[in-house]
Structure 1
Amino acid sequence: MGEERAPGPSVRLRLTLSYAGFLVVAGALLLAVVWVFLLRYVPEDVRSGQGVPGGGAPPPPFIPSRSDLQRAFVPKAAGALVFLLVLGLLGGWVLAGRVLAPLTRITHATRLAAGGSLSHRIRLPGRRDEFRELADSFDAMLARLEGHVAAQERFAANASHELRTPLAITQTLLDVARGDPDGDTGELLDRLHAVNARAIELTEALLLLSRSDAATVVREDVDLSLLAEEATETLLPLAERRGVTVETSGDVAPAVGSPALLLQLTANLVQNAIVHNLPDGGAVWVTTAARPGTAVLTVENTGERLAAELVPTLTEPFRRGTGRIRTEAAGVGLGLAIVQNITAVHGGTLTIVSRAPGGLRVTVELPTPEQTHSR
């Protein structure tokens, strides 16, 4: 644990003392200027002239000496310094309070956030200054944290629901088999195998999703065109079973990242495009391209038309097309969520748009080796 420190004077008190000290020093310097440039040139002892000869001369005029001026000046100067000290303390306390008022609001919001209230916002009024920028940055951070926590809560709830489903099905199958000892054991084993395979697939997808969030990714030069060909060849049997044609084309697209994660990204995109396609005669197009500073992977497919407002939700975990559909090859609903995480870890961008004829166009842009090394 860190060393405990005794509480020191508040910032407001230190600012007040600074203001008061500045005023006193400025007043002292002003009085010193008066002494240097005025009083020092007054003679120490000024004597009056001689009387007029021949009788009653008028009294000589009084000419103050340096001592006279000092006796008259020093008390007034001391009083002025005391006044400046009092004015500096009072005025400095008020000014420091006004200056630090935004900091008090920010501190209050910080304590609320530390207590778990992420919905509170500072919303500091006034012109844009350092405190306003700090408050706006803190509000933006709270908004991101609130969204992240909400997403994690939804993810945990959905994951629990998805993991509970195969377990509940398994329990039901076992209960039925226990109640019917003479039932078909082979059919029971087949169904249990299918349910268990789905649970394993979901668990592996969840583990991959958590690993794709890690920043410690081993990066090396990769070619997206080779990854696209490998993923397409692997998923070709699935495409043939579903009557979907897959075409791969494009140029060499050098990028930097983890070959395993980027291959998983490509495979997820191609599998998603095959599964969510037309019932018969569907098509998938996988293309790669090299642009200045960017390697581009694009996967397009035919399929039903999706509303524009639905497209941004497709990267949420457990979202499958128009809802939480459950088909034999629908997957576990984490494909695009994994793609988004892998893209973010590699410093890329993911763009999903709905095609006018139907289906989606998904574009992943990743930094090239030259772009990465220049950072």
Structure 2
Amino acid sequence: MASGATDTGADRAVGSDRAPGLSVRARLTLSYAGFLMLAGVLLLAAVWLFLLRYVPDRAMLINPDDTTHGVFPVRSSLLRVFAPRAAAVLVFLLVFGLVGGWVLAGRMLAPLTRITDATRLASTGALAHRIRLPGRRDEFRDLADTFDTMLARLEAHVAGQRRFAANASHELRTPLAVSKSLLDLARADPDHDTREVVERLHAVNTRAIDLTEALLLLSRAEQRSFTREPVDLSLLAEEAAETLLPLAEQHGVTVRTGGDIAPTTGSRALLLQLTTNLVQNAIVHNLPADRSADPPVQGTVRVDTRVRPGGVVLTVENTGRPVPPQLAATLTEPFRRGTGRVRTGHQGVGLGLAIVETITHAHDGTLTLAPRPAGGLRVTVELPGT
């Protein structure tokens, strides 16, 4: 009840506190009628001035039947005849202007009415509705098309947020449920080896902390709440490769770095996270090492930086199993893994590429994922140059 009262008060604060006034259609109607009346008055005034120029003030009137004659006021007589007819014309123009203005204003504002109806629907949460205003391009058509585009993006954003919230809830519920089960087991069996329970609880809590930190990082990148500074992507690539060298050795993967100095601007911490996530993902989702094979099988990761006109490019590609194109297009979705939602030996939180995409967009860049013909994935990040 309190929440509903608060919402109602907010609605009143937005619109109901304003004094009522004439509608736009009524104001346009009065404007049309007013301009028409003004034009009529000016036209009648011009006619009257024209008559005054050529009609004398008085004239001699001679009766042909007799010899009587006299002087008559011509202008005053003409005014008595002209004034009632001019008033009738002005009344006609007023009525015509009001009726015609009301009809014309309605036709002119019809597209705006459709846009307003769509806005009301969107305010209730119906984001699937589109205006699709027909006709040639004009101001109303541009406004309607822009609003349709905004609705489409908003619908996609809301759908993505709902999926993200559902997935995040599922991912966070799992470690909490496991922790509860371990604690229940320890409480039910006091003689059970507590070291095993503590180790498992430590691993579960570590994963929950990693997931929470990843969610916070994702939120920070989306809000663009960071300070921009000069950054060299080639140095970040070398730092990420050096940091992840033990992981690469553990998986039997060779990491090679190279390329040009790639200066850009942005958050060094976020761009380092972007590079680290890409290299880590390339190491984990690679060919399984098999040194007993002839020749020995070993996966590779190639990290390359280039300078292009107007920007810099970071490319990370790895060997691995073939990736279907339809799967590559979904890998940036939160909690999406290369094998669907099936966990591998690597305890990732499923936000690596989602964080990469968010950081890239926060730095006004573009992210491209393309399967390699021989297997594996090629990820390209293009950022503006300095």
TM-score, normalised by the number of residues in structure 2: 0.89
Partner of 2:111: 102
Shift of 1:268: 0.3
Partner of 1:220: 229
Q: Which amino acid aligns with 1:323?
A: G
Deviations 1:45-91 (A, max 9, x none): 2224696xxxx78999xx99333332222211111111000000011
Choose the corresponding residue for 1:293, options 293, 310, 317: 310
2:324 is aligned with 1:311: no
Q: Which amino acid aligns with 2:279?
A: V
Choose the corresponding residue for 1:16, options 20, 29, 34: 29
Match of 2:179, SS state, is helix
Match of 1:46, SS state, is strand
2:153 is aligned with 1:136: no
| Partner Cα separation in structure 2 for residue 277 and residue 331 of structure 1 | 15
- C-alpha change, 1:365 and 1:167, in structure 2 (3 Å) is same
Shift of 1:208: 1.0
Q: Which has the higher mean CA deviation after the structures are superposed, 304-313 or 233-242?
A: 304-313
After TM superposition, what 4+ stretches of structure 1 lie above 6 angstroms from structure 2? 56-60
Match of 1:300, SS state, is strand
2:62/2:68 contact within 8 Å kept: no
| Partner Cα separation in structure 2 for residue 283 and residue 14 of structure 1 | 72
Deviations 1:207-253 (A, max 9, x none): 11111112231111010000000000000100110011100000100
Q: Which has the higher mean CA deviation after the structures are superposed, 24-33 or 264-273?
A: 24-33
Instruction: Please show how residues 199-348 of structure 1 align to structure 2 within 5 Å.
Output: 199-280=208-289, 281-348=298-365
Q: Which has the higher mean CA deviation after the structures are superposed, 14-23 or 199-208?
A: 199-208
Identical-pair percentage:
69
Partner of 1:81: 90
Partner of 2:50: 37
Q: Which has the higher mean CA deviation after the structures are superposed, 277-286 or 168-177?
A: 168-177
Partner of 2:367: 350
| Partner Cα separation in structure 1 for residue 214 and residue 344 of structure 2 | 17
Shift of 1:13: 0.8
- C-alpha change, 1:350 and 1:58, in structure 2 (3 Å) is farther
| Partner Cα separation in structure 2 for residue 350 and residue 74 of structure 1 | 78
2:158 is aligned with 1:149: yes
| Partner Cα separation in structure 2 for residue 179 and residue 327 of structure 1 | 31
| Partner Cα separation in structure 1 for residue 240 and residue 59 of structure 2 | 108
- C-alpha change, 1:46 and 1:199, in structure 2 (3 Å) is same
| Partner Cα separation in structure 2 for residue 184 and residue 133 of structure 1 | 70
Match of 1:305, SS state, is coil
Deviations 1:154-178 (A, max 9, x none): 1111011111111222222333344
Match of 1:353, SS state, is strand
Match of 1:245, SS state, is strand
| Partner Cα separation in structure 2 for residue 19 and residue 64 of structure 1 | 39
Deviations 1:83-133 (A, max 9, x none): 000000011011111111111221122122222222222222222211111
Number of equivalences:
364
1:118/1:143 contact within 8 Å kept: yes
List alignment gaps of at least 5 residues for structure 1: 370-375
- C-alpha change, 1:42 and 1:192, in structure 2 (3 Å) is same
Shift of 1:195: 1.7
List alignment gaps of at least 5 residues for structure 2: 1-12, 290-297
TM-score, normalised by the number of residues in structure 1: 0.91
Q: Cα RMSD (Å) of the superposition?
A: 2.2
| Partner Cα separation in structure 2 for residue 270 and residue 14 of structure 1 | 64
